[in-house]
Amino acid sequence: MNYEEILPPLMAGLKQAGLKVGTPFFVRYGRVKIEDQIGEILGAKVVILLVGERPGLGQSESLSCYAVYSPRMATTVEADRTCISNIHQGGTPPVEAAAVIVDLAKRMLEQKASGINMTR
């Protein structure tokens, strides 16, 4: 897993961009929809979820990032999520992915949207 490689530059980049950042935490056996509960409970404008790939999929060291704007349990659908996958040294390097995620979070806040509702 690349958490040690992506989390420090991601946190630093979000803070440098002037974004309010909560404390990172770990959800054991979580699924992507956990973002909806997290967003609702915390009142978060953007939730960024880093997910390790399941073993056996060819790139067990790979991560994916799922980001969503203003997630809520009753209203968020899969098309509202934005995914960045293949985060590992042989794909998108973690430090580069962190910069992409920071830019994505800024655009989500500017556009008040995520997923298919975002404009380029």
Is residue 26 in a domain?
no
**Can you give the pLDDT at residue 53?**
72
Residue 57 has pLDDT above 80, yes or no: no
Is residue 77 in a domain?
yes
Is residue 99 in a domain?
yes
pLDDT > 70 fraction of the chain, expressed in percent and rounded:
93
Q: Following CA atoms 2, 13, 76, 72 in sequence, which dihedral angle do they give, to the nearest 10 degrees?
A: 110
pLDDT in tens, 79-118: 999 999 999 988 999 999 999 999 999 999 999 999 999 9
Residue 3 has pLDDT above 60, yes or no: yes
CATH number for 96: 3.40.50.11240
Is residue 24 in a domain?
no
| Range of the structural domain that residue 70 is part of | 3-19+31-117
Domain count, the chain: 1
**Can you give the pLDDT at residue 59?**
64
Is residue 25 in a domain?
no
**Can you give the pLDDT at residue 20?**
94
| pLDDT: which is higher, 46 or 3 | 46
Directed axis angle between helix 94-111 and helix 3-16, to 10°? 40
pTM: 0.91
